[in-house]
Structure 1
Amino acid sequence: MSWFTTPITSDIMRGAIELERTSHGVLPHRLPAWARSQCTDPQLAMVEAQPSGVRLVFRTGATAIELDALATRRLYAGVPPRPPGVYDLCIDGRLAAQASLDGGNILHIDMATGATTTEAGPAGTLRFVDLPAGVKQIELWLPHNEATELVALRTNARVQASAERAAPLWLHHGSSISHGSDAASPTGTWPAVAATLAGVELVNLGFGGGALLDPFVARVMRDTPADLISVKIGINLVNADLMRLRAFGPAVHGFLDTIRDGHPATPLLMVSPILCPIHEDTPGPAAPDFAEGQLRFRATGDPADVASGKLTLGVIRTALAQVVEQRAASDPNVHYLDGRDLYGDADHAALPLPDRLHPDAATHRLIGERFARLGLLNR
């Protein structure tokens, strides 16, 4: 078989904010270097390099595709290993195949102490063969939950960058739930499900543990092209116990003000947290709980401290609704969605959160379908 090697550049990459050249190849980032330099949090550094929503997009008549890549996978002390990240191959908009890589680096994480060590491993090769003949649109979605350095792309026919996008561009920011948490694959995260159903292009700035109203994230959103913008905020501020009510309202206003500096009239949706019973009325911080032999989370705060300004999800929903109501008086393109309309009490009874914080794969699909059905991406 004759192979053509295509340079991995921004011409065939969607969903990434920046591409970093490494000793192995290309590492997609969802925050630019200047933003990464303003925060030394290793959690954010880890998750922004996990390419949720990032995909290679091109047209080709190839019937075989190979991708060499180096994954960095997480291994948490005391927790069974996660399965390898999944690559989703879509042909002309339809999921056609899935595969995972061998090899890769292992990032060992002790949640109790925060200590990390990295065990180096080799790159692997992903192969998709027996693809349909004829020119077709290829989208190769990278794993949403593991950093991936792209080493080489090979096809048995030449690759052409796709024409300029015609679909509206949706820019979304949120927590690990938006990042993908326990979704089964990259096209199964709720934002990817919603984007596919609504026919929009996704740029996903969902960061596990990192939806904290950071000013540099707002500036990235300000400077990123978008036809639709959504911000889903709340759960990380509670489970990190990072902020009090006095600071929260002005911080939300400031975050939105910065976005509006670059997108003064773009439809902007503020989404409050989905239902999470452990934090509805109990402040954080959240702590890992292995009492039942598996990883779950518990709230360690005292509900009595709400009176002195500690945040719960209930407090945050009330505050966000007030912020949006105030802004809507002069900004008709800002809107509010109660996250419980996406996942509420009845949903929790049918599909409880397995670790008490994160939705499973079925719940991701439910949230994405519901978000699309509400018409929130067609404003």
Structure 2
Amino acid sequence: MITTAIAPALVHGAAELETTARGLRPHRLPAAVRTRFPDPQLLMAEAQPSGVRLVFSTTAERLELVTHPTRVVYLGADRPRGSVDLLVDGELMQSDSLTGGSYTEVIMSTGASRQVEGPSHTSIFSPLPAGSKVVEIWLPHNETVELVELRSDAPLEPHRYGMPVWLHHGSSISHGSNAATPSGIWPAVAARIGGVDLRNLGLGGSALVDPFTAQVMRDTPADLISVKLGINVVNMDSMRLRAFVPAVHGFLDTIRDGHPDTPLVLISPIFCGIHEDTPGPGAFDPASFGTDQVKFIAAGSPEGVAAGQLTLRVIRDALQSLMERRSEDGNLYYLDGTALYGAEDAEDHPLPDALHPDTATHRLIGERFAQYAFAGEGPFGQDAKGAVA
């Protein structure tokens, strides 16, 4: 077997690769952000390599990738392990569930925690189709990993897509929460349909209209951009309407400083029953502890709307009005999130934890976004892609 050094040329979708004692840890936000605002939730989310993948051309028929996963385990509310997906020429061939690694075990009722160390994990992909091919190894969207070693039975060469880069920012839904595999998160589904190179800044619990996220987007090369805002602001009860609207204007203004004419889609929240008319904060539903599915609830009161608290309906109205006030920007588009997943969809595709879609619903959302955005006359359609690629 040949061991290939994991160099930046092999890695797509990451801002930086941090050298660790074991290997390389991909980051989706640069060190400057992580240093200035080391919020634990943000640090965990950005280090989970949602949308990050190794991409290369090869004739190899056997590949082995050694990773060391790190995760947080909440006793009584733990979620399934992450996985590593292998795609050949754009088609999913194999998916390997992670084992081992390190984890922090947290007792939800007390907050007490302990650290547990385990072995690294080896993903083995074999047999692969014979002949030359483009291989993508999608890293887990829901666990941090260190890239330890990449082995193959034939040489590997870095591959560049030559496709437009789609830069997307959103919440845990864009991050991929509750999707079973990293290539099954809705932005990945949409990117494959649209024929674009995904750079995913879906950050679980951290789509909070942060200026530093807008600055990262401003400075990131991109041909197509989308921003999905709302649910985290509600379920963290982090803003009132008076602060939210100017913050979104500023967020868009910052992106426009680096991408003045790039097609940009502003997306409002998908339907989420618990927060449609009830402000946050969101919380775990204690009645669901110890069951097969821990659920979320809205802990605010509808009466808070009169004082400026935010609900999803309030946010959709506010974003629609904001768009009308930015009508001078001919490359700015608005998509009502309920067109991706609405109240009627909740009947056939309920959110298992009352907040995040399952794998099938991620696929539905991805397909609907692709139909909206990448169609010939859509904001990311052939005219737009041809103009910026």
Shift of the alpha carbon at 1:134? Answer: 1.1
Q: Tell whether 2:55 aligns with 1:57.
A: yes
Contact 2:76 2:108 in 1 (8 A): no
Partner of 1:160: 157
> Aligned-residue CA RMSD in angstroms?
1.3
Q: Tell whether 2:322 aligns with 1:323.
A: yes
Using the alignment, how far apart are the partners of 1:109 and 1:234 within structure 2?
28
Q: Tell whether 2:337 aligns with 1:342.
A: no
Structure 1 residues 206-240: Cα deviation after superposition (integer angstroms, max 9, x where no partner): 01101001111111000101110000000000000
Q: How does 1:352-363 map to 2 (within 5 A)?
A: 352-363=350-361
Partner of 1:310: 309
1:136 corresponds to which of 117, 133, 137: 133
User: Which residue identity lines up with residue 128 of structure 2 in the other structure?
Assistant: L
Using the alignment, how far apart are the partners of 1:216 and 1:108 within structure 2?
30
1:288 corresponds to which of 284, 291, 296: 284
User: Which residue identity lines up with residue 346 of structure 1 in the other structure?
Assistant: E
User: Which residue identity lines up with residue 143 of structure 2 in the other structure?
Assistant: E
Contact 2:265 2:333 in 1 (8 A): yes
Partner of 2:231: 235
Shift of the alpha carbon at 1:153? Answer: 0.4
| Structure 1 outlier segments of 4+, above 6 Å | none
**SS state at 1:374 partner:** helix
Counting aligned pairs with the same residue, the percent is 59
Contact 1:190 1:368 in 2 (8 A): yes
Using the alignment, how far apart are the partners of 1:332 and 1:110 within structure 2?
51
**SS state at 1:218 partner:** helix
Contact 1:74 1:82 in 2 (8 A): no
Using the alignment, how far apart are the partners of 2:33 and 2:112 within structure 1?
24
Shift of the alpha carbon at 1:167? Answer: 1.1
Contact 2:165 2:198 in 1 (8 A): yes
Q: How does 1:151-190 map to 2 (within 5 A)?
A: 151-162=148-159, 164-190=160-186
Partner of 2:364: 366
Using the alignment, how far apart are the partners of 1:177 and 1:82 within structure 2?
15
Q: How many residues align?
A: 374
Using the alignment, how far apart are the partners of 1:267 and 1:276 within structure 2?
27
Partner of 1:77: 75
Q: How does 1:98-247 map to 2 (within 5 A)?
A: 98-111=95-108, 116-162=113-159, 164-247=160-243
Q: 1:281 to 1:202 in 2, by over 3 A?
A: same
Give me the TM-score of the superposition, normalised by structure 1: 0.96
Q: 1:267 to 1:116 in 2, by over 3 A?
A: farther
Shift of the alpha carbon at 1:184? Answer: 1.3
Using the alignment, how far apart are the partners of 1:210 and 1:224 within structure 2?
19
Shift of the alpha carbon at 1:129? Answer: 1.5
Q: Which moved more, 1:273-282 or 1:122-131?
A: 122-131
Q: Which runs of 5+ in 2 are unaligned?
A: 375-379, 385-389
**SS state at 2:284 partner:** strand
Contact 1:75 1:106 in 2 (8 A): yes
Q: Tell whether 2:44 aligns with 1:34.
A: no
Using the alignment, how far apart are the partners of 2:111 and 2:212 within structure 1?
24
Q: Which moved more, 1:46-55 or 1:70-79?
A: 70-79
Q: Which moved more, 1:119-128 or 1:21-30?
A: 119-128
Contact 2:6 2:150 in 1 (8 A): yes
Q: Which moved more, 1:114-123 or 1:304-313?
A: 114-123
Q: 1:273 to 1:90 in 2, by over 3 A?
A: same
Contact 1:60 1:136 in 2 (8 A): yes
Using the alignment, how far apart are the partners of 1:286 and 1:355 within structure 2?
12
Q: Which runs of 5+ in 1 are unaligned?
A: none
Q: Tell whether 2:95 aligns with 1:91.
A: no
Partner of 1:262: 258
Structure 1 residues 28-77: Cα deviation after superposition (integer angstroms, max 9, x where no partner): 00001001112121111111100100000001111110111100122112
